Structure 1
Amino acid sequence: MDEEHTRSTVVVVTWRGRAHIAECLDALAVQRPHRLLVVDNASDDGTARVLAEHPSNPEVLRLSRNLGYAGGLSRALELVETPYFAWLNDDARPEPGWLDTSESELDAAPLAAAAACLLRTADGEVSAGVRLTETGHGADTREPGSVFGFCGGAALLRTTALRAVGGVPAAFFCYYEDTDTSWRLRLAGHGIVPTDASCAHSLGASSEHGSARFHRWNERNRLLMLLRCAPAGTAVRELLRFAAITLALPPRRLRGVRVPRAANFRVALRIRVLGEVLARIPANLRARRAVTARSVVDRELVWRRWAGR
């Protein structure tokens, strides 16, 4: 590694990534000079051996337990000393020039704190970043003009800006850590730029989309993110909406009304989500005050600018 020209630390977080992480490391081997740090979330499937035998000889931070994607990134941030900090899924394969393009875009946009990358799936889906819906969800978008935030699967951030807004929300475990961070960067007055830096992404290789665990983390973290970052009325409205839908599901089923089969319409899962959110309200109100103290842009202005795009 050429220390003089190393401006980015690329952090790959893995958990049981034996089947795909070598392809990620192969793709990183042809990028411009960088520090490579792999966070191994206590994998027990032979991932450690793949890392030890890979010719790129990655630096490995092996955790004693699985802290999730958000927790792994948070631990890695403590060790990052370069100006830029790249987030990368272990099932992403950056195309040649990915890091160079990402760095160049941030160099050219001094008021931006993050560069959103293009993520391409095998079935042709493309995400240019995350848009903010009218219900406060973070959703993939193809349109650069609607990019509110970056997708955590592949992104480059300014290290100092990330630390200044409170770092990575480790307690989220996984999902919405990217949209929450984008919110906090926007509130602190930073821009987030879409780029042509591209990665192939095997969506769901690390966690099964549509599973009960996926929906639990997804639903919980959206609500926690809104409590931390969104206008108060929006956060309360969405929490009450979630509770109302939960209460309405049993009588709808009794009346024979068709209810979606997706896991996030299971009453037990939704009750668990509500319990976890309510238990975390004191901590998240403290986090909200900290976000407010670091903000230079009003939450309502950010919401009106981006929600529903």
Structure 2
Amino acid sequence: MVVTWRGREHIGACLDALAGQTRPHRTIVLDNASDDGTAAVVAAHPLAPEVIRLDRNAGYAGGLAAALPSVGTPYAAWLNDDAAPAPDWLAALEDALEHDDRAGAASARLSRPDGAVQSVGVRLTALGYGADAVTGPVFGFCGGAALVRMSALAEVGGVPAGFFCYYEDTDTSWRLRLGGWTVLSAPDAVAVHLHGASTRPGSRAFHRWNERNRLLMLLRCAPLSAAVRELARFAAITLALPLRRAVPAAPNFAVGLRLGVLVEVAARLPGTLRQRRAIGRRAVVDRAAVWAERGE
């Protein structure tokens, strides 16, 4: 399952790599209303993938949520349109889940074009930030190239479509762990990732989605004390920034951006707390125990 938006320059290489997989599979391309000729590239590709085209950009999370009902197989692979998996990528991921029936997801090894390891999964920091792990074990899977067990995903409530982009994988991993599932790193499943070909890491939009979705994820999944602490910390830093003489130039230290994040989180708070209660009702593992699994 490939989610794309304005992926004309790189989705051909992604589909070429999927055509070369050693394990039989269906390929679904979810096109987020691309307007750059992506649809023509996909339509002309010899792989002839199934295409779902949205009339608006629903983001990576929204695209996944829109495509998942079309999946009728036990597993669904999530793949960025700027990733090119090795021929045995899918086979290695499937074997990892086949050998552990309590594994809800397996994360591939994403490598940069120069061969450096970008990610073998996601680790969780003490502040509740998701970060790339370059060695295992991992807290969660990286949604850029992973395989998810569909029955586990349905059991824990699916994908948080409202996140739009970023943290949908870490949030899903957290809920899998709360549901008694594990998340594996499968470093033998390799994909080369251009990283940032579809979005611009470091941009204002990037930081807005990251900061907002981290807080929403914590409110949904973390122990209440940790979620409230991090929300309060974020608000306190935001209010203190105008009083500082030296402020980092990064967009996530811009007061306007941070106030916008707080407004978005506040607007979503009633729904997020309802989601938290639903997640708690489904959980079989204590939130504090999962928080402790972050390994930081």
TM-score by length of 1: 0.94
Q: Which of 132, 136, 152 is equivalent to 1:161?
A: 152
For residue 70 of structure 2, give the secondary structure of its aligned residue in structure 1: coil
Question: Percent of counterpart pairs with the same letter?
Answer: 63
Q: Which of 169, 181, 186 is equivalent to 1:190?
A: 181
Aligned position for 1:276: 264
- Partner Cα distance (1:115, 1:305) in 2: 17
Aligned position for 1:135: 127
Alpha-carbon distance, 1:122 to partner = 2.5
Alpha-carbon distance, 1:24 to partner = 0.2
Confirm or deny: 8 A CA contact 1:230 1:299 kept in the other structure: yes
Confirm or deny: 8 A CA contact 2:139 2:293 kept in the other structure: no
For residue 189 of structure 1, give the secondary structure of its aligned residue in structure 2: coil
- Partner Cα distance (1:219, 1:275) in 2: 12
Alpha-carbon distance, 1:57 to partner = 0.7
- Partner Cα distance (1:175, 1:193) in 2: 20
- Partner Cα distance (1:126, 1:202) in 2: 10
2:13 aligned with 1:17: no
Alignment of 1:226-237 (within 5 A): 226-237=218-229
Aligned position for 1:266: 254
2:80 aligned with 1:89: yes
Deviations 1:194-230 (A, max 9, x none): 1120100011001000000000000000000000000
- Partner Cα distance (2:6, 2:200) in 1: 13
Confirm or deny: 8 A CA contact 2:112 2:194 kept in the other structure: yes
Q: Which of 175, 183, 208 is equivalent to 2:166?
A: 175
Aligned position for 2:139: 148
- Partner Cα distance (2:218, 2:200) in 1: 24
- Partner Cα distance (1:214, 1:121) in 2: 20
For residue 119 of structure 1, give the secondary structure of its aligned residue in structure 2: strand
Aligned position for 2:203: 211
Alpha-carbon distance, 1:305 to partner = 2.4
Confirm or deny: 8 A CA contact 2:179 2:284 kept in the other structure: yes
Aligned position for 1:117: 108
Confirm or deny: 8 A CA contact 2:111 2:192 kept in the other structure: yes
**Alignment-mate amino acid for residue 180 of structure 1:** D
Alpha-carbon distance, 1:78 to partner = 1.1
- Partner Cα distance (1:305, 1:33) in 2: 35
For residue 136 of structure 1, give the secondary structure of its aligned residue in structure 2: coil
Aligned position for 2:49: 58
TM-score by length of 2: 0.98
Aligned position for 2:294: 306
- Partner Cα distance (2:117, 2:100) in 1: 27
Q: Which of 4, 15, 18 is equivalent to 1:28?
A: 18
- Partner Cα distance (1:122, 1:272) in 2: 35
Alpha-carbon distance, 1:126 to partner = 2.7
Confirm or deny: 8 A CA contact 1:136 1:307 kept in the other structure: no
Alpha-carbon distance, 1:18 to partner = 0.3
- Partner Cα distance (1:40, 1:282) in 2: 31
Alpha-carbon distance, 1:307 to partner = 4.7
- Partner Cα distance (2:33, 2:293) in 1: 41
Deviations 1:134-179 (A, max 9, x none): 000111111212x000001000010111011110000000000000
Alpha-carbon distance, 1:267 to partner = 0.4
Alpha-carbon distance, 1:109 to partner = 0.6
Deviations 1:33-62 (A, max 9, x none): 101000000000000100111111111000
For residue 13 of structure 1, give the secondary structure of its aligned residue in structure 2: strand
- Partner Cα distance (2:47, 2:289) in 1: 45
**Alignment-mate amino acid for residue 290 of structure 2:** V
For residue 134 of structure 1, give the secondary structure of its aligned residue in structure 2: coil
2:214 aligned with 1:222: yes
